[in-house]
């Protein structure tokens, strides 16, 4: 306990179980996230294999439905959200010149809830009656009526995942507000920290609402309440409102940290400061605000009053404005920059490009009468994979390749990095671009069988899926390689990189910024 | 562990987070098994709850020890404050989900159900309602016949409970003033009164629930009215229970001589929490009981 020994920490497994160090916890988050990505990835291959041709061949429909449901839950709550929290843990203290997160013990707690929550979710698949099969949105009446404990496991798992994220967000807010190095005003803060700071508010405001929604589901299932049963004065659509009040902010929770990553990487490799830093901050904040008043665009077809349809349509379209501001700012940052295209930059540019396509399909979906046609078809599936993979996952890979040399002290293999990017880029588009056409032609989502005219596009899609997942092996290989060996990385790593994290050695010592740096 | 390195405070590695998570897991697992009719489920849940309670003693105990040992500087104090404020905000949003459900049903879903003649012709929607197939609502606080229920009126126990909670908000502020001017007797008396008021509130609410179940035909299963009534007031009651336990802890600490006029985050956190349950109650009183 003596002052001088604060560097001591247990070794072996106990180090990881008891750590209060933001770098350790960041690593734990990232390892957990990529493990879950493998699990979710395998599920997606089950789905795509079944859809290789019409008819039922590999799995029965009930299991197919479990796969679509759990795939989505795992990818959102197990992969993307924890991965970005891992990045936040590693980077925010380094970027704002803090020695650690504001509440280090709670930080460890928010991580360690995750493996337990994931176990609960996975257990559901082995229960009598199987895992949740009514879609990740858990709509009643299906999810009230599905028998067996699978849905209950899912609900409790969601509660735990929610607690974890809320605690993590509280920590991020406290860190940003309270731990910045002297001189680092909010408006000097790196965009990644800004993106996460705003995301944290979205999480704190929306996850408790999800907890409320699934609690009502649970009491309807087991304690005789009638929230979602019209015969007793409830309403199944009520669930959808409460769920999407969480659900739409959630999609921005997935993407705003990635926006922060794009805003970090692009200036580095364009060797120009970010164009319009302040407008970026305000645009992110506006997106966050608007994201709370657009939720019913997921429910255009439930029979809302006309005023409701119109309000949510215009509000949704409005989001495209700040989103557009961000895209234009990234492009303007690159304008006349001295650009090079290392792996992180490829991910950033590729990510902006793919995300923009997803934003445009979102705009199509936001048009109420058009959505009557598109709703619950593969068009929606294409849309959200463009935004979530293009936005969040590309951002994630960009971030990992960008900061990997900082974390491990070794450069990764640039050739492998580029292969990984290009194979993923091609595989991804092969998988999801045809799904736009499938959806427009009327192929419904979440169905294990389809009519003959959809065969060709589905086969493209399945081939693309296998290609994309196979490409991820390259990532695991080069990441491992860089952890173990490789060309030594300098502190600066990237010629054009700016920020406090590049002033400390690579890898950084266990504790950094024990005395706060001065920021001009 | 030190605040010496440039004024920052970094806690040592700690076993509590992972133990807490394991306890939470056991509680959730046991709970799900129990509600699905697996007999030993409740034992798993009880073990989980026991772990949680034990670990809270240890974890909070450690934090309190560090705080009283003078390890915390102003920065740590600020981090705690931000943490607690945003935690309370997340709780507000949790209640918002249920209030939202209530408003949605009362203003939209219910009237639509009454207006359409497609599903249950002849059903007219008036709040309080348990829906077309649920029991019929009669006047508040009356004894219902079969397939009737009586909603909870505002001016009996709920009004008394409003007065109780509002006074408890005053007593805790009075206790805070005592703490600020180092008047320990005022601090302890104020806290004691607050705890007493909290316990009285809970007893009255328990009485109200028993009365609802036994004499008013009003249960969780009484359609949407019963569902919203019991979930809103029930979660609130649960939070009052937590708040009361927190107050008891604070009272115990005050008796032990903890807290100084310039260093008493623990006290303030509990006071904030208490005001939060107080404000939620006001909304409950207005929208669940009164109108
Ligand atoms: C310009 C911005 C965007 C607009 C206008 C937009 C619009 C929409 C609309 C109208 C739907 C509902 C389609 C339907 O079910 O019929 C939808 C679905 C969806 N969007 Fe977006 N979106 C935008 C950005 C995003 C972003 C950034 C993400 C995530 C990072 C996202 C993720 C999703 C997801 C996951 C769904 C489907 C949810 C489900 O039903 O399972 N969207 N979007
Ligand atoms: Cu949305």
CATH number at residue B68: 1.10.287.70
Domain housing B56: 1-72
Tell which atom from ligand 1 comes closest to the C-alpha of A301. 16
Tell me the torsion sign for CA atoms A137, A142, A145, A151. Answer: negative
> For residue B188, is the peptide bond before it cis, meaning its omega torsion is within 30 degrees of 0?
no
Radius of gyration of the CA atoms of chain A, in A: 23
Three-state SS sequence of A251-307: HHHHHHHHHHHHHHHHHHHHCCCCCCHHHHHHHHHHHHHHCCCCHHHHCHHHCCCHH
Lowest mean pLDDT among A9-13, A142-146, B33-37, B256-260: A9-13
pLDDT average, residue stretch B53-64: 95
CA A308: distance to chain centroid? 29
Q: In angstroms, rounded to a whole number, what is the distance separating the alpha carbons of residues B81 and B95?
A: 21
Number of domains in chain B: 2
Among candidates A411, A450, A420, which has minimal Cα distance to A434?
Answer: A450
Shortest-distance ligand to the CA of residue A72: 1
Q: In angstroms, rounded to a whole number, what is the distance separating the alpha carbons of residues A364 and B186?
A: 65
My answer on whether B116 and B39 are in the same domain is: no
My answer on whether B126 and B191 are in the same domain is: yes
Question: Which of B17, B44, B72 is the last residue before a domain boundary?
Answer: B72
Q: Which two tokens mark B202? A: 């809970």
The DSSP secondary structure of A134-195, one letter per residue, reads: STTTT-TTHHHH--STHHHHHHHHHHHHHHHHHHHHHHHHHHHHH-PPTT--GGGS-HHHHH
> For residue A141, is the peptide bond before it cis, meaning its omega torsion is within 30 degrees of 0?
yes
My answer on whether B210 and B67 are in the same domain is: no
Share of chain B above pLDDT 70, in %: 98
A165 is catalytic: yes
Give the pLDDT confidence score for residue B4 in this predicted structure.
Answer: 40
Q: Which of A23, A48, A326, A420 is catalytic?
A: A326
What CATH number should be reported for the domain holding residue B167? 1.20.120.80
A502 is catalytic: no
Q: In angstroms, rounded to a whole number, what is the distance separating the alpha carbons of residues B194 and B197?
A: 5
Q: Is the pLDDT of residue A25 over 70?
A: yes
pLDDT average, residue stretch A195-209: 98
The chain-wide mean pLDDT, for chain A, equals: 96
Give the pLDDT confidence score for residue A495 in this predicted structure.
Answer: 94
Among candidates B23, B247, B114, which has minimal Cα distance to A235?
Answer: B114
> Is ipTM > 0.90 here?
yes
pLDDT average, residue stretch B217-228: 97
Interval B152-195: pLDDT, tens: 999 999 999 999 999 999 999 999 999 999 999 999 999 999 99
Q: In angstroms, rounded to a whole number, what is the distance separating the alpha carbons of residues B122 and B278?
A: 41
- Which residues have a beta carbon within 5 Å of ligand 2, which is an ion? A 248
CA of A247 to the centre of ligand 2 (A): 7
Q: Which of A24, A50, A250, A371 is catalytic?
A: A250
Q: Which two tokens mark A136? A: 């990740």
Structure letter (DSSP) for residue A4: G
CA A38 to chain B, closest CA, distance in angstroms equals 23
Interval B107-163: pLDDT, tens: 999 999 999 999 999 999 999 999 999 999 999 988 999 999 999 999 999 999 999
Among candidates A253, A173, A257, which has minimal Cα distance to A207?
Answer: A253
Give the pLDDT confidence score for residue A172 in this predicted structure.
Answer: 98
DSSP reduced 3-state for A219: helix
Interval A432-457: pLDDT, tens: 999 999 999 999 999 999 999 999 99
Q: Is the pLDDT of residue A4 over 60?
A: no
A100 is catalytic: yes
Find out whether A26 and A196 touch, Cβ atoms under 8 Å: no
How many beta-carbon pairs below 8 A join chains A and B? Answer: 249
Interface of B with A in 80-99 (CB under 8 A): 80, 82-83, 86-87, 89-98
CA of A507 to the centre of ligand 1 (A): 39
Domain ranges of chain A: 24-503
Q: B210 CB contacts (<8 Å, ≥6 apart)?
A: none
Give the pLDDT confidence score for residue A11 in this predicted structure.
Answer: 85
My answer on whether B99 and B123 are in the same domain is: yes
Interval A451-474: pLDDT, tens: 999 999 999 999 999 999 999 999
A152 is catalytic: no
**Max alpha carbon distance in chain B (Å)?**
75
Q: Which of A206, A264, A286, A323 is catalytic?
A: A323
Give the pLDDT confidence score for residue A519 in this predicted structure.
Answer: 86
A50 is catalytic: no
My answer on whether B28 and B152 are in the same domain is: no
pLDDT average, residue stretch A74-86: 98
My answer on whether B151 and B233 are in the same domain is: yes
Give the pLDDT confidence score for residue A5 in this predicted structure.
Answer: 43
Q: Looking at chain B, which residue has its C-alpha nearest residue A224?
A: B221
**Distance between the two ends of chain B, CA-based, in angstroms?**
54
pLDDT average, residue stretch A500-514: 93
Nearest to B5 among A213, A223, A514 (CB): A514
Which residues does ligand 1 sit against, CB inside 6 Å?
Answer: A 137, 251, 254-255, 297-298, 316, 319-320, 323, 359, 362-363, 365-366, 371, 374-375, 380, 383-384, 387-388, 391-392
The chain-wide mean pLDDT, for chain B, equals: 95
Whether B199 has its CB under 8 Å from any CB of chain A: the answer is no
From atom 21 of ligand 1, which residue's Cα is the shortest distance away?
Answer: A362
Best CATH choice for the domain A24-503 from the list 1.20.210.10, 1.10.645.10, 3.40.50.150, 3.10.350.10: 1.20.210.10
Question: Which of B49, B72, B95 is the last residue before a domain boundary?
Answer: B72
Cβ neighbours of A518 in B, within 8 Å = none
My answer on whether B49 and B87 are in the same domain is: no
My answer on whether B117 and B233 are in the same domain is: yes
Interval A33-69: pLDDT, tens: 999 999 999 999 999 999 999 999 999 999 999 999 9
Q: In angstroms, rounded to a whole number, what is the distance separating the alpha carbons of residues B98 and B134?
A: 21
Interval B68-110: pLDDT, tens: 988 888 999 999 999 999 999 999 999 999 999 999 999 999 9
My answer on whether B54 and B169 are in the same domain is: no
Three-state SS sequence of A323-368: HHHHHHHHHHHHCCCCCCCCHHHHHHHHHHHHHHHHHHHHHHHHCH
Q: In angstroms, rounded to a whole number, what is the distance separating the alpha carbons of residues A129 and A221?
A: 15
Greater confidence, A516 or B40?
B40
CA of A427 to the centre of ligand 1 (A): 22
Give the pLDDT confidence score for residue B3 in this predicted structure.
Answer: 42
My answer on whether B18 and B95 are in the same domain is: no
My answer on whether B82 and B158 are in the same domain is: yes
Among candidates A127, A157, A130, A167, which has minimal Cα distance to A218?
Answer: A157
A222 is catalytic: no
Shortest-distance ligand to the CA of residue A255: 1
Give the pLDDT confidence score for residue B7 in this predicted structure.
Answer: 62
Q: Is the pLDDT of residue A516 over 90?
A: no
Q: Is the pLDDT of residue B5 over 80?
A: no
- Give the model's confidence band at A7: pLDDT under 50 very low, under 70 low, under 90 confident, else very high: low
pLDDT average, residue stretch A409-429: 97
| Segments in chain B forming alpha helices (H) | 16-35, 41-68, 74-104, 110-115, 157-180, 184-215, 223-255, 265-284
Q: What are the CA-CA distances from residue A164 to residues A115, A158, A234, A458, B14 (Å)?
A: 11, 10, 31, 37, 17
A445 is catalytic: yes
Give the pLDDT confidence score for residue A8 in this predicted structure.
Answer: 66
CB atoms within 10 A of CB B177: 12
Q: Is the pLDDT of residue A342 over 90?
A: yes
Strand partners, B263: B260
Whether B105 has its CB under 8 Å from any CB of chain A: the answer is yes
Whether B231 has its CB under 8 Å from any CB of chain A: the answer is yes
Q: A94 CB contacts (<8 Å, ≥6 apart)?
A: A406, A500, A501, A504, A508, A512, A513
Question: Which of B50, B72, B94 is the last residue before a domain boundary?
Answer: B72
Give the pLDDT confidence score for residue B70 in this predicted structure.
Answer: 87
My answer on whether B61 and B145 are in the same domain is: no
Interface of A with B in 50-109 (CB under 8 A): 98-100, 102-106, 108-109
């Amino acid at each position: 306990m003596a002052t001088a020994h604060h560097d001591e920490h247990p070794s072996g497994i106990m180090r990881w179980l008891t750590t209060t160090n933001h770098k350790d916890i960041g690593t734990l988050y990232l390892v957990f996230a990529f493990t879950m990505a493998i699990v979710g990835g395998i599920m997606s291959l089950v789905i795509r294999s079944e859809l290789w041709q019409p008819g039922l061949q590999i799995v029965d429909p009930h299991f197919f439905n479990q796969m679509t449901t759990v795939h989505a839950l795992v990818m959102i709550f197990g992969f993307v959200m924890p991965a970005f929290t891992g990045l936040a843990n590693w980077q925010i203290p380094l970027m704002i010149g803090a020695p650690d997160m504001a509440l280090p013990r709670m930080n460890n707690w928010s991580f360690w809830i995750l493996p337990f929550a994931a176990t609960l979710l996975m257990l559901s698949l082995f229960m009598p009656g199987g895992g949740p099969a009514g879609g990740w949105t858990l709509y009643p009446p299906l999810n009230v009526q599905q028998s067996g404990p699978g849905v209950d496991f899912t609900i409790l798992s969601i509660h735990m995942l929610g607690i974890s994220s809320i605690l993590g967000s509280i920590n991020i807010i406290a860190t940003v507000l309270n731990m910045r190095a002297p001189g680092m005003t909010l408006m000097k803060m790196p965009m990644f920290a800004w993106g996460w700071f705003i995301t944290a508010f979205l999480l704190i405001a929306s996850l408790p609402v999800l907890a409320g929604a699934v609690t009502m589901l649970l009491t309807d299932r087991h304690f005789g309440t009638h929230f979602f049963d019209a015969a007793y004065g409830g309403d199944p659509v009520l669930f959808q409102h409460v769920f999407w009040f969480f659900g739409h902010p959630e999609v921005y929770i997935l993407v705003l940290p990635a926006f922060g990553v794009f805003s970090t990487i692009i200036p580095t490799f364009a060797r120009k400061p970010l164009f319009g830093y302040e407008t970026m901050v305000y645009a992110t904040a506006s997106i966050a605000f608007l994201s709370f008043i657009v939720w019913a665009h997921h429910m255009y077809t439930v029979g809302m009053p006309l005023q409701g349809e119109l309000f949510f349509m215009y509000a949704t379209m409005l989001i495209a404005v700040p989103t557009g501001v961000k895209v234009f700012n990234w492009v303007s940052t690159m304008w006349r920059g001295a650009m090079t295209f290392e792996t992180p930059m490829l991910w950033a540019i590729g990510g902006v490009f793919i995300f923009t396509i997803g934003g445009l399909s979102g705009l199509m979906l936001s048009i109420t009468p058009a959505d009557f046609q598109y709703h619950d078809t593969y068009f929606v599936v294409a849309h959200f994979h463009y935004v979530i993979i293009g936005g969040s996952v590309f951002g994630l890979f960009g971030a990992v390749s960008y900061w990997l040399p900082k974390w491990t002290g070794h450069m990764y293999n640039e050739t492998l990095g580029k292969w990984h990017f290009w194979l993923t880029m091609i595989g991804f588009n092969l998988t999801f671009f045809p799904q736009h056409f499938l959806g427009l032609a009327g192929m419904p989502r979440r169905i294990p069988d389809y009519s003959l005219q959809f065969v060709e596009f589905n086969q493209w899609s399945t081939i693309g899926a296998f290609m994309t997942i196979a490409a991820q092996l390259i990532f695991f290989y080069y990441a491992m390689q860089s952890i173990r060996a490789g060309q030594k990385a300098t502190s600066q790593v990237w010629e054009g990189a700016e920020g406090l994290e590049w002033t400390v050695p690579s890898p950084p010592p266990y504790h950094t910024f024990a005395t706060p740096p001065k920021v001009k | 562990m030190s605040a010496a390195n440039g004024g920052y405070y970094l806690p040592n590695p700690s076993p509590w987070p992972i133990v807490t998570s394991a306890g939470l897991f056991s509680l959730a697992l046991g709970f799900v098994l129990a509600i699905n009719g697996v007999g030993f489920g409740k034992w798993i849940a009880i073990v989980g709850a026991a772990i949680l309670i034990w670990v809270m003693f240890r974890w909070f105990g450690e934090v309190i020890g560090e705080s009283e040992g003078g390890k915390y500087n102003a920065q740590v104090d600020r981090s705690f404050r931000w943490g607690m404020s945003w935690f309370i905000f997340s709780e507000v949003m949790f209640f918002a989900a249920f209030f939202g459900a209530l408003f949605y049903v009362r203003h939209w879903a219910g009237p639509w159900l009454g207006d359409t003649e497609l599903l249950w012709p002849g059903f007219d929607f008036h709040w309080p309602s348990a829906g077309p197939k649920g029991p019929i609502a009669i006047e508040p606080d009356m004894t219902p016949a079969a397939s009737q229920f009586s909603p909870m009126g505002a001016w009996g126990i709920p009004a008394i409970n409003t007065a109780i909670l509002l006074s408890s908000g005053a007593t805790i502020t009075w206790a805070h003033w005592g703490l600020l001017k180092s008047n320990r007797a005022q601090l302890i008396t104020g806290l004691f009164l607050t705890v007493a008021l909290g316990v009285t509130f809970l007893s009255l609410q328990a009485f109200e629930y028993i009365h609802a179940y036994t004499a008013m035909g009003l249960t969780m299963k009484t359609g949407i009215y019963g569902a919203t009534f019991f979930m809103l007031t029930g979660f609130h009651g649960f939070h009052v229970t937590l708040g009361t336990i927190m107050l008891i802890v604070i009272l115990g600490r005050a008796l032990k001589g903890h807290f100084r006029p310039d260093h008493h985050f623990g006290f303030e956190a509990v006071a904030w929490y208490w005001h939060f349950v107080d404000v939620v109650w006001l909304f409950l009183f207005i929208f669940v009981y009164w109108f």
